[in-house]
């Protein structure tokens, strides 16, 4: 059992990790795949529940009383995780269906239990459209072709950068470093785009081991006929953040396997770890298949100086996904470099900002590169912009930084009359946000 009162990977240990190795040939990956939803291809553990235990109550004693095993938990049990929240959140399992049925019924009647819920699935929105590419092969939804002739300007001068007025902001103060937690499939620490830009190895919540690294296994783990279709998602997201803010340091937490499958509980654990490790911003380029009180408790327990950015979703509908729809999360929808809403992107009243998310060029494991589209890419641009602005003027709190981004965004409603009022305050403009903070 792991208690996040003690960080799993203290920052003091984060210097002793993988050195950049000789990389394969510099190659490009291209894709037009835009998923539509969080895929639910693997069933939750059948005899498992997440349990919010009331402040002052003993989670282990409750598990014992209902015939369950306490597998993991977070929270100290004596301090509320948010307003009127539980004192801790635990993962209970039972050996069989009968025990689970009886135990869950008992939990529902207990005054010491705040909530009981399934460990809902988490995943990236971009992988749900992969099946259109036919033959099963590794990365088939993102590795449409390798041309072997990419150029650095494709990364450093891509249209997303002037779209957010990146160059309207002067260089940041020397030595100013912002920590950005990337909760995803992990990262490739040897990629040149991430060299020197990781705060350390992070943590793998899938394998329950140090090292938040992008890992492929060549196996169709979820039985959908595709192999490792999410491999590289976290590397691409992290590389987009460090492109926007070269002074950012990434804290990588792996909560999704190479097929893009994860759980709400691992997402919650990773957010708790991000807070413990001092992240100012958390990037969630993923969504939940259903609302999760465990994830919400983790969000509410974060310090006010840790801001969560999350993907709106790729449904193309005016319905924002979880957890982006929450008021205490910055929800980001995807537009093109001109501010036109991406056909894949969810939108709605819960949106705070929009950012470029179409054909974003970024790193992939093995010193390769990809063009990837979706709300995951848009939220990475937004997280990078927040980090860049915070690094530039660190005399302000992270929430002041985000308020400046939201308050100075350029409205894109006239470009999107069908979605007017559903795109937040508009497209990020870093120059104007910098002027706002400087006043």
In 304-376, the DSSP E strands lie at 307-311, 330-335, 353-356, 360-364, 368-372
Q: Is 396 a catalytic residue?
A: no
Closest C-alpha among 222, 71, 227 to residue 134: 227
CA–CA dist 385, 383 (Å, integer): 5
Write down the catalytic residue from 184, 188, 224, 228.
184
Does the annotation mark 36 as catalytic? no
Closest by CA position to 66, among listed 107, 37, 26, 33? 107
Distance CA 357, CA 176 (A): 27
- Do residues 62 and 113 make contact, with C-beta atoms less than 8 angstroms apart? yes
Strand partners, 283: 182, 309
How far is Cα 93 from Cα 49, in angstroms, rounded to an integer? 7
Check if the beta carbon of residue 87 is closer than 8 Å to that of residue 77: yes
What are the residue ranges of helices labelled H in 182-291?
Answer: 233-244, 264-276
**Two structure tokens written together for 12:** 């003091």
Residue 15 falls in the annotated catalytic set:
no
Catalytic residue among 191, 233, 236, 347: 233
Considering the candidates 128, 376, 387, 391, report the single residue annotated as catalytic. Answer: 376
* Residue 29: φ, ψ to 5°: -120, 140
Catalytic residues: 184, 233, 376
């Amino acid at each position: 059992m792991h208690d996040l009162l003690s960080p799993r990977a203290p920052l003091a240990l984060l210097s002793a990790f993988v050195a950049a190795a000789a990389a394969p040939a510099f190659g490009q990956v291209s894709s037009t795949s835009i998923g539509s939803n969080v895929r639910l291809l693997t069933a939750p553990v059948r005899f498992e529940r997440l349990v919010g235990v009331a402040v002052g109550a003993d989670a282990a004693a409750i598990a014992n009383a209902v015939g369950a095993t306490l597998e993991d938990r977070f929270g100290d049990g004596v301090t509320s995780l948010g307003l009127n929240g539980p004192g801790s959140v635990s993962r209970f399992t039972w050996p069989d269906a009968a025990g689970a049925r009886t135990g869950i019924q008992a939990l529902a009647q207990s005054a010491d239990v705040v909530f009981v819920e399934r460990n809902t699935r988490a995943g990236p929105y971009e992988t749900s459209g992969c099946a259109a590419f036919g033959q099963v092969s590794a990365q088939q939804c993102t590795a449409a072709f390798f041309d072997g002739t990419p150029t650095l300007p494709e990364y450093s001068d891509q249209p997303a950068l002037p779209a957010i007025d990146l160059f309207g902001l002067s260089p940041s103060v020397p030595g100013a470093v912002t920590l950005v937690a990337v909760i995803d499939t992990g990262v490739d620490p040897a990629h040149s785009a991430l060299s020197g830009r990781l705060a350390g190895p992070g943590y793998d919540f899938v394998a329950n081991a140090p090292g938040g690294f992008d890992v492929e296994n060549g196996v169709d783990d979820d039985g959908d006929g595709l192999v490792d279709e999410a491999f590289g998602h976290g590397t691409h997201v992290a590389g987009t953040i460090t492109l926007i803010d070269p002074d950012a340091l990434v804290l990588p937490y792996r909560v999704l396997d190479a097929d893009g499958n994860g759980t709400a509980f691992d997402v919650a654990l990773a957010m708790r770890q991000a807070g413990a490790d001092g992240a100012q911003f958390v990037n969630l380029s993923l969504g939940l298949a259903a609302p999760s009180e465990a994830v919400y408790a983790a969000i509410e327990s974060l310090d006010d100086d840790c801001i969560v950015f999350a993907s709106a979703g790729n449904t193309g509908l005016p319905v924002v996904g979880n957890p982006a729809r929450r008021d205490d999360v910055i929800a980001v929808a995807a537009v093109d470099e001109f501010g036109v809403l991406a056909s894949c992107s969810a939108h709605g009243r819960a949106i705070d900002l929009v950012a470029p998310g179409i054909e974003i060029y970024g790193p992939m494991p093995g010193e390769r590169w990809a063009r990837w589209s979706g709300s995951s890419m848009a939220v990475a641009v937004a997280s990078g912009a927040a980090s860049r602005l915070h690094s530039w003027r660190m005399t302000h709190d992270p929430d002041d930084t985000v308020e400046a981004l939201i308050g100075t965004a350029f409205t894109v409603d006239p470009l999107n009359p069908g979605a007017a009022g559903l795109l937040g305050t508009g497209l990020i403009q870093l120059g104007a946000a910098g002027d706002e903070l400087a006043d």
